[in-house]
Amino acid sequence: MSMPRIGDKAPSFKAVTTQGEINFPEQFQGSWVILFSHPADFTPVCTSEFMTFASLENQFNDLNCKLVGLSVDGLYSHIAWLRTIKEKIEYKGMKNVEVKFPLIEDITMEVAKKYGMIQPGESSTKAVRAVFVIDPKGVIRTIIYYPLSLGRNFDELLRIVVALQAADNFKIATPADWRPGDDVIVPPAGSCGAAKDRMEGKEEMKCYDWFFCTKKLDKNVIIDAIKKDIKK
């Protein structure tokens, strides 16, 4: 069983989904993608997560980020579950929720095993709640694994996508609990030494010590950069 790592190319696979066949990650080149797994269809935590993912899909798409789900259930189970969600479930103000992004069937666990989503200490028959954030070049940039009992935090998933794009566009890093609009760290972690020398006079920086300097980065500037990336 392999465990992909941050910085690795996302392992390739072809799969059947609720939106037809996909060729991953090749067909998503040029977009960010969140590939995520859930333990099982027709379960409560997963239902709350799918309704939230679907409700936020436009916000992810605005960040040039596509969503792709996976569980080791079959296609007909996926279709029946998503139909039940749309027709019957009203939860936290979300109703009539249509899941438009692809949900992979992975009965053989081939994809789940490739991505380290089967973690036998937690379950040998279900995928854990994995999240892989993959960049437009197909490189894995963030990995989170949650246990079966813990639903994901969607503010955090959106924050991760914006933070990675801000880091790429502006060569900065983001401090603890950063939100778009907060000060960012210059230069990125690992190359701090010359921060002050290089930045002096160019931009307004605040230095807490020689190794820890921040600067302002307006939220709208980040959003404009993301929009430019989408147009490319």
For ligand BEZ, give the closer residue by CB, 44 or 193.
Answer: 44
**Binding residue count for ligand BEZ, defined by CB under 6 A:** 9
Residue of 10, 33, 34, 46 interacting with ligand BEZ (CB under 6 A) = 46
39 is an interface residue for ligand BEZ by CB under 6 A: yes
Active site residue 46: yes
- Closest approach, Cβ 134 to ligand BEZ, in A, equals 24
CB neighbourhood size of 12 (10 A) = 11
199 is an interface residue for ligand BEZ by CB under 6 A: no
Q: Which stretch binds ligand BEZ (CB under 6 A): 42-50, 54-62, 63-71, 114-122?
A: 42-50
77 is an interface residue for ligand BEZ by CB under 6 A: no
Q: Which of residues 116-135 bind ligand BEZ (CB under 6 A)?
A: 126
69 is an interface residue for ligand BEZ by CB under 6 A: no
43 is an interface residue for ligand BEZ by CB under 6 A: yes
For ligand BEZ, give the closer residue by CB, 64 or 71.
Answer: 71
Residue of 16, 22, 45, 56 interacting with ligand BEZ (CB under 6 A) = 45
Cα–Cα distances in angstroms (integers) from residue 2 to residues 16, 72, 208, in the given order: 22, 17, 41
- Closest approach, Cβ 48 to ligand BEZ, in A, equals 8
For ligand BEZ, give the closer residue by CB, 48 or 169.
Answer: 48
Residue of 148, 205, 221, 225 interacting with ligand BEZ (CB under 6 A) = 148
Q: Residue 162 has which token pair?
A: 């914006």
> Is 20 exposed, middle or buried, given 0-12, 13-18 or 19+ CB atoms closer than 10 A?
exposed
40 is an interface residue for ligand BEZ by CB under 6 A: yes
Rounded CA-CA distance 23/83 in Å is 25
- Closest approach, Cβ 85 to ligand BEZ, in A, equals 13
The residues that touch ligand BEZ, with contacts defined as CB under 6 A, are 39-40, 43-46, 126, 148-149
Q: Which residues are catalytic?
A: 46
